Amino acid sequence: MKVSTLRRQAWDVLQAAEIADPVREADWLLASVLGFPLHTLIFEGDRTVSPVQAERAWTLIRRRAERQPLQYLLGTQEFRGLEMAVTPDVLIPRPETELLVEATLQAVLDIRGPRMLDVGTGSGCIAVSLARGRSDATVVAVDISASALAVARANALCHGVGNRIRFVQGDLLTAFSVSPDGVFDVIVSNPPYVPAGELDALQAEVAWYEPRLALAAGTDGLDYHRRLLRGAPELLKGGGHLILELGRGQSDQVQRLSQQTGAFISLECRKDAAGIERVLVARVGAGGALRVPVAPQNATGDGPPSAIVGAGGVRGT
């Protein structure tokens, strides 16, 4: 079969499946599976593909027509100029999460050898970017999913920071012990934040194929924010920052929850390119967290901060 025929048929299939940009997506998939550069695909339409190559191409096109995300089929997504490997075990990194990295690097600008914690690392896009952005940093990345951590480790190795990130399997902050001087200069997280009732209304690619573990966050979508706001201050050094990604319309409520902890001396929300308040930057005082947090109503999770006592650092890993 000629490449040009394969291309036209693939476009038709993706168009019928209501893929928004069927021509570009078909071309990316075909170029990837046939091992051609895009320009060869486009300008050398008379080339022939073998039946085996055509079958491999059709397998991918059919999977895309079933709304499997393009990034899982290609196995990669760019994040801050780095190609991050992605599998269905991890959330596909989003462009707005790059703001979280910028805010985090900015927060430690004046700190030598900063200690940074990325909670819910997924593909490792944040942790890898931080390690590459600050060669003197110690970066710890935690996720509850062993399969996500395997992807994150592979990305760290691929981008030359495999020996600079410590990967920990754990439930949010529970793997870490408090030390009197704090443990981390900054804790950053893009936690799950989709309210349970909104999961099925998400775009098919997200709702059907991205991991629920990376999305679902209880009735109001703030289960993880509550736990992080309560648990992080005890782990932060004096003047340290907690930096959280927010879903659309969550900013006011998360700021209220932050104030209720009584632990932060400043709160700032930053907007993304679409004008959505996307990043919360919360800072504890120079003496560290005020140790009299007020538990938010209906709070669930990590237990009273006073229960977390230890020598500091990672527990048992």
Ligand X SMILES: C[S@@+](CC[C@H](N)C(=O)[O-])C[C@H]1O[C@@H](n2cnc3c(N)ncnc32)[C@H](O)[C@@H]1O
Cα distance between residue 223 and residue 194, in whole Å: 10
Q: How far is the CB of 260 from ligand X (least distance, A)?
A: 21
Nearest to ligand X of 13, 213 (CB atom): 213
201: Cβ contacts below 8 Å, ≥ 6 apart:
207
Q: How far is the CB of 176 from ligand X (least distance, A)?
A: 12
Strand order of the β-sheet with 138-143 is 165-169, 138-143, 115-119, 184-189, 236-245, 277-283, 266-271
User: Which of 173, 168, 177, 178 lies closest to 148 in space, CA to CA?
Assistant: 168
Q: How far is the CB of 258 from ligand X (least distance, A)?
A: 19
Q: How far is the CB of 151 from ligand X (least distance, A)?
A: 9
Nearest to ligand X of 49, 156 (CB atom): 156
Nearest to ligand X of 60, 149 (CB atom): 149
Q: How far is the CB of 238 from ligand X (least distance, A)?
A: 26
Nearest to ligand X of 120, 293 (CB atom): 120
9-to-1, 28, 97 alpha-carbon distances in Å? 11, 14, 36
Nearest to ligand X of 131, 214 (CB atom): 214
Rg (CA), the chain: 22
For 72, the token pair is 């899982």
Nearest to ligand X of 34, 232 (CB atom): 232
User: Which of 148, 187, 184, 182 lies closest to 167 in space, CA to CA?
Assistant: 148
Q: How far is the CB of 33 from ligand X (least distance, A)?
A: 25
Binding site for ligand X (CB under 6 A): 90-91, 93, 97, 120-123, 125-126, 142-145, 148, 171-172, 190-192, 213-214
- The residue assigned the tokens 């890898």 is 128
